[in-house]
Amino acid sequence: MSYPHDYEYSLQQPERFWLKQAQRLHWFRDPQTAATLKPEGTADWFADGQLNMAFCALDYHVDNGRGEQTALIYDSPVTATKQRFSYRELRDQVAHFAGVLKQHHVKKGDRVVIYMPMIPQAAIAMLACARLGAVHSVVFGGFAPHELAVRIDDAKPKAVITASCGVEVNRVIAYKPLVDKAIELATEKPAQVFVWQREQCQAELMAPRDVDWQQALTQATPAECAVMQATDPLYILYTSGTTGKPKGVVRDTGGYAVALRYSMDIVYGLQPGEVMFSASDVGWVVGHSYIVYGPLLTGATTILYEGKPVRTPDAGAFWRICEEYGVQVLFSAPTAFRAIKKEDPAAHALQHYDLSALQRIYMAGERLDPPTLAWTQEVTGKPVYDHWWQTESGWPICANPVGLTEYPIKPGSSTLPVPGFDIRILAPNGEELEANQQGAVAIKLPLPPGCLTTIWGDDQRFASSYLSDLPGYYSSGDGGYKDDDGYVYIMGRTDDVINVAGHRLSTGEMEEVLAMDPAVAECAVIGIADELKGQVPLGLVIIKDGIAIDHAELSARLVQLVRNEIGAVACLKQIHVVPRLPKTRSGKILRRLLRQLADGEANVSIPSTIDDPNCVDELRTQLTR
């Protein structure tokens, strides 16, 4: 098949196309219907089908001759640990831990929050929940207790799964006190906390709530796979919202499994038995889709890496992994490669490693700037593919479809829409724009399988966030254009969520934290360009009248406050104390204008709606010092 054929087939005959793709999986009951349309234009996928994600990812391969093949490789330079799990070993460990959860009354439909470092038990916990039909919600281990508490209150979990600690480059971070504090802050109290004890730090357990994972395994029996409807939720993954309250993206089971299995073939070109290294974290969507579920559904080998692209121990870390494990596909964010380039611009470390097995390098999570693409291609001699997708989509929306037809790479473009995604560039009034005209990047409804089905507990927010701006379309929140060849160029966010090293963070949430300080009268947080991370947040604060405080002292205090409330992942390190902020006459802060001033743009157009034009020059001087 060719890309043009598959793409047209997916849009013209989606029912037949997706039922055909569903045949790639093992179903307990084969679906007879692909899409069941809903009033708002979205669809339930494979509603009459039954399956289990953990069975498809593990048991199926054990039953069909892959039991002794390596399923998961754990490589941890920060603890000097390496470990391999065959499909049989991983299946057995997942089944036993699912038995622990079942013994403590975790059942189908219950929610379980997972707050783990990058260790095998994080993947085992996810798969154990999937085995039972419990809905997991993985929270990135870098988030502070307040952020974890917000997610606990929203998901209302029966249990929390954690580890005694995480290990960074040169320090051990005790996780259990963070979890304890989060539960103290939360209104919803989980019945159980399961703790994997690591040798680097032993956690103190509080009976009867806290359960020692290792001890509990000695008393548990393996649990069988629950029969799940394709439309049953598999997980909730929280993504930043512009209001400051995270949105719980809900992913179904069957549609997601079909989409991932299809994407492994046509986007990544990965075959059963080959090796994929996705250098991300299980707390993000890449970790869900392409560390845990996608490679295992395919019968491939996946690598779980507890380390950094640099400093663990050096800028050759990724190249070592690729040589040592014979990696065919490497996937990470552009930030990782910019960090490698910054530390080792001539790629001296690369000369020590053999990358002959490596076929392709993928980048996503933020815009891939052409210099990073060119440098990576030059030093590795490998093709580098930009592709665009979101937490909400769960799998790539635009990519170079190498498993069907490989297209020339155009720097700055994520190439073409993936089959199933009908991408349009729209004006604010909903009219489709011509080639090379920038507008809102939208997807004609219904979305294909694998995309979010709603926001957890808030269908109205799902509709207002994604469906109401452009009726009949999913509004991606990104702006961009198509060129004359149909290539898609994503130019950046159209809302106030910024992208820091591939992590989407809400400026509204940071503003709420800054406003907590008694000295702050008003504030704004914007994303500004950063050579390494793509974007970093910049805080602007106005001090309350009558308060005398050293500006450097206040800035340091506010930086620490954000770190305490959101976590180091927020990366807010620069704060300016300003006398005023540019606003419209109705009182709305002109954040786009602030971004232009902070980025040093020469030709800044001052909106006619501004209430005080004189503040612009004042701010320009201060922000460009």
* DSSP assignment of 180-209: HHHHHH-SS--SEEEEEPBTTBPPPP-TTT
Q: What pLDDT, in 10s, does the model give residues 525-539?
A: 988 888 888 888 999
Domain count across the chain: 3
Q: What pLDDT, in 10s, does the model give residues 204-226?
A: 999 999 999 999 999 999 999 99
432 domain residue, yes or no: no
- Nearest 5°: phi and psi at 538? -125, 130
430 domain residue, yes or no: no
Identify the residue whose tokens are 């507890």. 306
Average pLDDT, the chain: 93
Predicted structure pTM score: 0.88
469 and 370 housed in the same domain = no
Domain boundary among 389, 421, 453: 421
Q: What pLDDT, in 10s, does the model give residues 122-136?
A: 999 999 999 999 999
Q: Are 196 and 165 in contact (CB under 8 A)?
A: no
Short-list 326, 374, 318, CA closest to 350: 318
CATH code of the domain in which 443 resides: 2.30.38.10
501 and 470 housed in the same domain = no
Per-residue pLDDT, averaged over 157-171, amounts to 95
Mention every residue, 6+ apart, whose C-beta is less than 8 A from residue 194: 100, 101, 104, 125, 159, 160, 161, 162, 210, 211, 213, 216
- Burial string for 218-231 (b: 16+ CB within 10 Å, else e) reads eebeebebbebbbb
536 and 466 housed in the same domain = no
Instruction: For residue 489, give Cα distances in angstroms to 492, 499, 601.
Output: 9, 17, 21
Q: Are 165 and 76 in contact (CB under 8 A)?
A: no
- Residue 371: the pLDDT is 83
Q: Over 90: is that where the pLDDT of 247 sits?
A: yes
Per DSSP (E only), the strands in 420-519 are 423-426, 439-444, 454-455, 473-482, 488-493, 497-500, 503-506
DSSP state string for 377-413: HHHH-S-EEE-B--TTTSS-SEE--TTT------TT-
188 and 212 housed in the same domain = yes
Distance, in Å, from the CA atom of 5 to the CA atom of 266, rounded to the nearest integer, reads 13
- Burial string for 349-372 (b: 16+ CB within 10 Å, else e) reads bbeebebeebbbbbbbbbbbbeeb
- Nearest 5°: phi and psi at 23? -70, -10
Report residue 560 CA to chain centroid gap.
25
427 domain residue, yes or no: no
CATH code of the domain in which 597 resides: 3.30.300.30
459 and 513 housed in the same domain = no
Q: What pLDDT, in 10s, does the model give residues 555-608?
A: 999 999 998 988 888 888 899 999 888 876 555 678 878 888 888 887 777 765
475 and 417 housed in the same domain = no
Q: What pLDDT, in 10s, does the model give residues 432-463?
A: 999 999 889 999 999 999 999 999 999 999 99
Q: What is the share, in percent, of the chain residues with pLDDT greater than 90?
A: 75
Q: Over 90: is that where the pLDDT of 36 sits?
A: yes
- Residue 495: the pLDDT is 65
Instruction: For residue 588, give Cα distances in angstroms to 52, 478, 592, 609, 610.
Output: 48, 21, 11, 10, 9
616 domain residue, yes or no: yes
- Residue 503: the pLDDT is 76
Distance, in Å, from the CA atom of 141 to the CA atom of 380, rounded to the nearest integer, reads 32
Task: State the residue range of the domain holding 236.
Answer: 3-421
392 and 512 housed in the same domain = no
Instruction: For residue 468, give Cα distances in angstroms to 88, 411, 461, 463, 471.
Output: 47, 33, 10, 6, 6
566 and 612 housed in the same domain = yes
Q: Over 60: is that where the pLDDT of 242 sits?
A: no
456 and 338 housed in the same domain = no
Domain boundary among 493, 519, 538: 493
Beta bridge partners of 269: none
Domain boundary among 421, 453, 473: 421
Per-residue pLDDT, averaged over 401-414, amounts to 96
Q: What is the share, in percent, of the chain residues with pLDDT greater than 70?
A: 97
504 and 478 housed in the same domain = no
Mapping DSSP onto H, E and C, the string for 525-569 reads EEEEEECCCEEEEEEEEEECCCCCCCHHHHHHHHHHHHHHHCCHH
- Residue 355: the pLDDT is 98
Distance, in Å, from the CA atom of 163 to the CA atom of 168, rounded to the nearest integer, reads 14
Mapping DSSP onto H, E and C, the string for 265-295 reads HHCCCCCCCCEEEECCCCCCHHHHHHHHHHH
- Nearest 5°: phi and psi at 192? -135, 150
- Residue 493: the pLDDT is 72
Q: Over 90: is that where the pLDDT of 290 sits?
A: yes
CATH code of the domain in which 326 resides: 3.40.50.12780
Q: What pLDDT, in 10s, does the model give residues 181-194?
A: 999 999 999 999 99
Q: What pLDDT, in 10s, does the model give residues 88-124?
A: 999 999 999 999 999 999 999 999 999 999 999 999 9
Q: What pLDDT, in 10s, does the model give residues 47-78?
A: 999 999 999 999 999 999 999 999 999 999 99
Instruction: Dig out the tokens for 408 from the structure.
Output: 């020339």
Q: Which of 412-416, 518-522, 576-580 is predicted most confidently?
A: 412-416
462 and 519 housed in the same domain = no
Q: What pLDDT, in 10s, does the model give residues 312-361?
A: 999 999 999 999 999 999 999 988 998 898 889 899 999 999 999 999 99
Distance, in Å, from the CA atom of 318 to the CA atom of 308, rounded to the nearest integer, reads 9
Distance, in Å, from the CA atom of 625 to the CA atom of 90, rounded to the nearest integer, reads 55
Short-list 173, 84, 74, CA closest to 119: 74
- Residue 625: the pLDDT is 64
Per-residue pLDDT, averaged over 414-443, amounts to 95
Instruction: Dig out the tokens for 368 from the structure.
Output: 């891939």
Q: What pLDDT, in 10s, does the model give residues 248-269?
A: 999 999 999 999 999 999 999 9
567 and 474 housed in the same domain = no
- Residue 277: the pLDDT is 98
Short-list 451, 368, 377, CA closest to 415: 368
429 domain residue, yes or no: no
